[in-house]
Amino acid sequence: MSSIRVLLADDHTVVRAGLRNALEVLPDLEIIGEVGDGIELMNAISSTQIDLLIMDASMPDFEPISAVQEIKAKYPDIKILIVSAYNDESYVVGLLKAGVNGYHLKDQPLADLQLATQKVLNGDRWISGSLIDRLINRPTAAPLTNVPFLTRRQRELLQLIAQGADNRNIAQTLDLSVKTVENHLTALYRVLGVDSRLKASNYILRHPELLASSGQEMVKLEPKPAEQGLVIMIVDDNARYRQQLGRLIGRIQASAVLYEAENTSSALTMGKQVQPQLAFIDVVLDGEDGIQCARKLRAVSPSTRVVVISAYPDREFRKQATAAGVAAFLDKKDLDTASLRQVIEDILK
């Protein structure tokens, strides 16, 4: 029987030695390497066959959320067990959502680490016992009025952070310099009261409403007190079109709460969190199938009415959209204020 190949990742040599000593007693398990930062970690994973990665989430040159997502996307069979000193529930939830198989606290007995390793290798999820009650009793997201006001640029930064983008990718996406992105992030962290990208990601998980725009803002009206209106999501891979459609909606429904997504993954994540009443989805999403996205969205948010939109009003697209149970299929070039108002009124009667 071949041994289970394990990589240890922690920036403290003493901690890695402790992990090695605790794990070497387990049968059929081989420690094949140790690394101390994010660059070494990603190089080791790409060059060595690994069954289990045991790592700290806080290391130099390392963004844990995006790294875990990348590892799971490229090497789905690798099991990941986090061994960390951080016991903040939002930190734990963020990494679990990113795809780790277990989260173990460093202050727990070595026997628990051995058990955690065996559980993860057997395909089970592991969370240290002292964290379970905190996660079960974790408060739900606070109302919109209790979270800080963000500019559109800050929401764009948060959206990209939530997708796992690093500073270089953010700079390319927003056509900014890396230094400007760093300055924007420093200001954003100050507003949120956090001091790292991971904590900002976890803040989004607790407050998805931060990513919403208002209809008033989209048409540059002066803010005024109003009850929250329709919750609408726009799913399109073209940021300019999302803003254009958002402005049209804002003219019709100034009190609307607008969310944006650029692909199926972000649409489903957002849909689960905010349960929009109405969603506009482009039929083509950067190579993805918008009709399949509509079908999946309705599965995670059954109350959402979906309108599929397209610059190519092909008859087959329309047929597939109808079969997927969407409320309407519309040609993008026909969407103006009057037609959009009629669509919204008809669908939401």
Q: What is the CATH number of the domain that holds 73?
A: 3.40.50.2300
Final residue belonging to a domain, choices 136, 162, 194: 136
Same domain, 190 and 306: no
Please report, for residues 62, 76, 230, 317, the alpha-carbon distance to residue 161 in angstroms, rounded to integers and kept in the order given.
14, 22, 26, 33
Residue 311's SS3 state is coil
Same domain, 233 and 347: yes
The pTM is what?
0.47
Final residue belonging to a domain, choices 181, 207, 233: 207
CA distance 330 to 205: 32
Residue 195 in tokens: 């001091």
Same domain, 45 and 17: yes
CA distance 269 to 55: 26
Q: What angle do CA 128, 111, 109 make, to 5 degrees?
A: 60
pLDDT of the chain, 349 residues: tens digit per residue: 578 999 999 999 988 998 999 999 998 999 999 999 999 999 999 999 999 999 998 888 888 888 898 899 899 999 999 998 877 766 787 788 888 999 998 888 878 899 999 999 998 888 887 777 666 555 544 444 455 767 777 888 888 887 778 888 888 888 888 888 888 888 888 888 888 888 887 787 777 767 765 554 554 444 443 344 688 899 998 888 888 888 888 888 777 888 888 888 888 888 887 888 899 999 888 777 888 999 999 888 888 989 999 877 677 778 888 888 888 888 887 778 777 888 777 766 6
Neighbours of 48 (CB within 10 A): 11
Same domain, 226 and 347: yes
Neighbours of 22 (CB within 10 A): 18
Same domain, 347 and 222: yes
CA distance 242 to 262: 9
Same domain, 196 and 231: no
Q: Is 284 exposed, middle or buried, given 0-12, 13-18 or 19+ CB atoms closer than 10 A?
A: middle
Same domain, 217 and 348: yes
Domain of residue 185, residue span: 139-207
Same domain, 304 and 326: yes
Number of domains in the chain: 3
Same domain, 250 and 132: no
pLDDT of 118: 92
Spatial CA neighbour of 196 closest among 81, 74, 86:
86
Final residue belonging to a domain, choices 136, 157, 175: 136
